[in-house]
Amino acid sequence: PRTIYFTRHGESQFNVQGRIGGDAYLSPRGEMFAKKLPAVFAKQIPENQKVTIWTSTLKRTIQTSQYMPYPKVQFKCLDELNSGVCDGFTYEQIEQQYPQDYAERDKDKFNYRYKGGESYRDLVQRLEPIIMELERFHDPDHTIVIIGHQAVIRCLYSYFMNYDHEELPYVKIPLHTLIKVTPKAYNCDVELIPLNI
Ligand code: F6P
């Protein structure tokens, strides 16, 4: 594709509760985002374009894609960073129950690996097939829309933006915002399209 769209899933029930990981459904606000998406894409994407939606295998990304009138493919490797024993915790709970881990992550967020889970470094590796698949596509008439997760979009976006390991885990990927990336010879054009939900 010439242009790739990235977005996080709509706000989930876990997002509302400040809990990480899990496999929650969307909140009512997240559902509104899902309902708004088709009209936004109808305007964004030229009529002759072929469109394919890539989601993770988690409910919140699949639910976000549900009203989009395009073919959809689920990828397990697009699932959110595995937070291992901290899955379902709030950051406060992690700080209380695993203070040392909390501090370690703060010191080196890219390399910190959750107990029984993954690091950003692991995630970058897990996403290699997705990057290869995106690079393999040269059909300018085929647009890929990736509905993913915060950490996953950070990795994919940083690949195209050439961000280094220090900045990658801190890139701001707001909810309810489309990120339109158009690769050029040596860099990328980027447009952020907030949906105001
Ligand atoms: O809070 C949403 C979320 O996608 C979590 O599931 C995930 O662990 C987290 O964001 C990743 O962000 P950070 O690496 O900044 O904790």
Q: Is 150 in the pocket of ligand 1 (CB under 6 A)?
A: yes
Q: How confident is the model at residue 1 (pLDDT cuts 50, 70, 90)?
A: low
Q: Given this model, what pLDDT does residue 186 score?
A: 87
Atom of ligand 1 nearest to the CA of 91: 16
Each residue's pLDDT tens digit, 57-74: 999 999 999 999 999 999
For the segment 122-142, the average pLDDT, to the nearest whole number, is 94
Question: Cα separations (Å) of 156 from 6, 24, 85, 193?
Answer: 9, 23, 25, 17
Q: Is 31 in the pocket of ligand 1 (CB under 6 A)?
A: no
For the segment 18-37, the average pLDDT, to the nearest whole number, is 98
Q: What is the mean pLDDT of the chain?
A: 97
Which residues carry out catalysis? 8-9, 15, 60, 80, 149
Q: Given this model, what pLDDT does residue 15 score?
A: 98
What is the ipTM metric for this complex?
A: 0.98
Residue 143 CA to residue 121 CA, distance in Å, equals 28
Of the chain, the percentage scoring pLDDT greater than 90 comes to 93
Q: Which residue has the tokens 């890219």?
A: 110
Nearest CA to ligand 1 atom 13: 151
